[in-house]
Structure 1
Amino acid sequence: METPLVAQKFTSESDYLPVKRFEDVKFVLWTETVKIWRIALPVALSQLFQYLTNSSVSIYAGHIGDIELSSISVHQSAISSICFYLLFGMSTALATLCGQAFGAGQIQSTCIYVQRSWIILTITCIILLPIYVFATPILKLLGQDEGIADLAGTYSIQVIPFMFSYAISFPIQRFLQAQGKVKVIMCIAFVVLLIQNVLLYIFISSFGWGTTGLAMVTNIIGWLYAMALVFYTIGWCKEEWTGLNWMAFRDLWAFAKLSLASSVMICLEQWNVTIIMLLAGRLENPVIAVGSYSICFNFQGWYFMILLGINTAISVRVSNTLGMSHPRAAKYSFCVTMFQSLLLGILFMAGVFLTKEDLAIIFTNSKDMIEAVADLAYLLGVTMVLNSASQVMSGVAIGSGWQVMVGYINLACYYIVGLPIGIFLGFKQHLGVKGLWGGTICGIILQISVLLLIIWKTNWIKEVEQTAQRMRIWSINSID
């Protein structure tokens, strides 16, 4: 094994001894539970608060009208999600590098990584502008209802500033998460959610500004959140934040390629949902089809934010332990997190099954929409359990730097297997949204099976060696 890279002050913990007795199992279970949930709970809450900002927009849109709900849903799940997950996926390169560099004690490198990511993601936002500007013709070309496409396109143009806020907030989030500074992210997200709902009430309920008011609030909230994170980092993280550095402009192309390669895994997994939403718009009665799926997607999204907290925690834990040359800790952390995540998924599935008749009430007063959502509730519950396993494995992949490999796996599982099955069931077998969603479930099951086999066969000592090599390469490019 390579000589550990870790500075003394970052090695207060040592790697686990092999688990041989029941007492060892209890010790590992308790220790890893504390370490994981110390990160996962604040991150889950912060992600939930951020997602609720989107859900709040959907709730207000739904009470304006069904066409507004479907239009905003198409924007959020199609136009916005394409850009969101590309930028979010690109930031996973930062999660790998910052987590492993922090574990290895290379603090200055993490600051330069963040600044490079700011530059790369801002350029990416500029490249993505045509998707927002020409959203209406794009949606019509994809077969969406004209009324939905027109309103969704207008809203897309209005929220362009919000997209650019991602370029600032994503990198700084990864920087803070890699160091375990997650409580402040949670607090900022909660305050921003409260401010957003006050503004929504004023702009929509009091002023009656409709979807234009929704767009104005979205832009304000996006930049408020991003700037709050930046101000905290600069003002209160003086030991970790070493300031702006011209070295951030070095090796931008190499960093861009790494970021784009890292985004493959996230994009291929999440864009599948976008495709299902667009295909739902081509079914009979597209307003009900898109609206019911989007409501289920919102509930799934609320739970998914909790899973993102677990995903972030396991990726931070794995990247830190690999950077500290603790292979057994990385392996045991995965086992503990998978067990607990599956239990959580089963609990939420039971909750969905018990409340399926009332799930849609907070989004709409339409009886047809409420019945359509209840009809999809069983698929929603099963998806929650499957995502519980999938997101833990994705977190391990991010922490280990396997994004490109998992990207190929996602391509095969979701697009070569899952999507054709969904199209066949949805259109040829006339199962509608249930058929489309069923194909996605088939893809998730296949993905979980393949990733579980890979993780089971992983040599964690070799992963430590590869981490040491990665840190040498990028620290040379960053500092020298």
Structure 2
Amino acid sequence: MIVTYLAMLNLGLHLFLSWLLTVQFHLGLAGVMSSMVIAYWIPVFGQLAFVFFGGCPLTWTGFSSAAFTELGAIVKLSLSSGVMLCVELWYNTILVLLTGYMKNAEIALDALSIWLAYIFTESKVVADAVAELSPLLAFSILLNSIQPVLSGVAVGSGWQSVVAYVNVTSYYLSGIPIGVILGYVLGFQVKGIWIGMLLGTLVQTIVLLFITLRTDWEKQVEIARQRLNRWSMDENGRQQNPGID
């Protein structure tokens, strides 16, 4: 429940800060980004406070020397997670930048960011561009209902480094080159960029699905059990099974 409460607080504060910084203080894009950054940190500090102040009495009994064991593995996992997320975020950013260098870039970018056309714009040109991209939007929604699940399975299994390699291959060796060829060389413009993006995501989804189906989940359960046994504590905060690998 704490995650739900923090998400609601996050949303409310984000909306309020966006209004305050952009409408009242006229900070424009800087205000929007500032409100987003502040809102992103709410779940982090909120969950830390929840744990530190007694929200998890059965799993958190305070700091001990065990908190500093196997930090190397945790750092490696954190770095892999960072690379995985950056590769994915940069992919979308690069596609937007590529769209910005096209003919009628303003219309293309508007169409790329607006889905309910006449709610957000009165421009018929932009609305027509949005209508032309609607089939791709439908396919994006379908694909994005599958890909995050598979990505979540991989992350939950500790395969961040594997996902990072998959993302680089899918996005940067497949999606972006295909998008550039379709958008610039073959003249499909923003539609070509989007098709390239979808193909990159499709390749990623297929690879992650293959990995998921080929995984021995009984073995993964055993690995998870061994880790829990190794890190479990007694009531005095001492490791119960420090020698288990």
TM-score, structure 2 as length reference: 0.78
Write out per-residue CA displacement over residues 243-298 of structure 1, whole angstroms, 9 at most, x where no aligned residue. Answer: 344654555444222221244444434432122112112212322223322335xx
* Alpha-carbon offset, residue 436 of structure 1: 1.1
Q: Distance in 2 between matches of 1:259 and 1:197?
A: 30
**Pair 1:376–1:250, CA change in 2 (3 A):** same
1-structure distance, mates of 2:126, 2:153:
38
2:106 alignment partner AA: V
- Paired with 1:410 and 1:212, the residues of 2 have a C-alpha distance of 30
Secondary structure of 2:102's counterpart equals coil
Count how many residue pairs are aligned between Structure 1 and Structure 2.
235
Q: Does 1:415 align with 2:169?
A: no
Choose from 200, 204, 219 the match for 1:447: 204
Number of the residue aligned with 1:167: none
Kept in 1: contact 2:3–2:43 (CA 8 A): no
> How has the CA–CA distance of structure 1 residues 284 and 444 changed in structure 2, closer, same or farther, with 3 Å as cutoff?
same
In the other structure, the counterpart of 2:101 is 282
Pair 226,473 (structure 1): closer, same or farther in 2 beyond 3 Å: closer
Tell me the CA shift for residue 237 of structure 1.
Answer: 0.9
Amino acid of the structure 2 residue aligned with 1:283? M
Residues in 2 aligned to 1:390 and 1:457: alpha-carbon distance in whole angstroms: 17
Is contact 2:136–2:195 with CA below 8 Å preserved after alignment? yes
Aligned to 2:150: 393
Partner amino acid for 2:11? L
Give the counterpart letter for 1:229 in structure 2: Q
Aligned to 1:241: 60
- The aligned residue for residue 332 of structure 1 is none
* Counterpart mapping for 1:314-353 below 5 A: none
Question: What's the offset of the Cα at 1:388?
Answer: 1.6
Show the counterpart of 1:196: 14
Structure richer in helix, relative to its length: 1
Task: Write the distance in 2 (CA, Å) between the matches of 1:377 and 1:211.
Answer: 27
Distance 2:101 2:33 in 1: 26
RMSD (Å), alpha carbons: 3.1
User: Deviation string for 1:403-462 (max 9, x for gaps)?
Assistant: 322332332222222221111001101111110111122223233333333323322222
2:91 is aligned to: 272
In 1, Cα distance between the equivalents of 2:31 and 2:170? 40
1:389: how far off?
1.8
Q: What residue number does 2:224 align with?
A: 467
Q: Residue in 2 aligned with 1:426? A: 183
* DSSP-derived class of the 1:382 partner: helix
Distance 1:295 1:248, change over 3 A: farther
Distance 1:428 1:399, change over 3 A: same
Flag structure 2 segments of 5+ consecutive residues without an equivalent: none
Query: 2 CA distance for matches of 1:417 and 1:191?
Result: 39
Give the superposition deviation at 1:463: 2.0
* 5+ residue gaps, structure 1: 1-182, 297-358
CA deviation profile, 1:144-181 (whole Å, cap 9, x unmatched): xxxxxxxxxxxxxxxxxxxxxxxxxxxxxxxxxxxxxx
Between the aligned partners of 2:31 and 2:83, the Cα distance in structure 1 is 34
Residue identity (%)? 39
Kept in 1: contact 2:99–2:190 (CA 8 A): yes
SS at 1:447 equivalent = helix
Residue aligned with 1:291, SS: helix
Distance 1:408 1:215 in 2: 29
Q: Is the 8 A contact 2:176 2:196 kept in 1?
A: yes
CA distance in 1, matches of 2:166, 2:50: 38
Change (3 A) 1:274 1:474: farther
> Which position in structure 1 is the counterpart of 2:4?
186
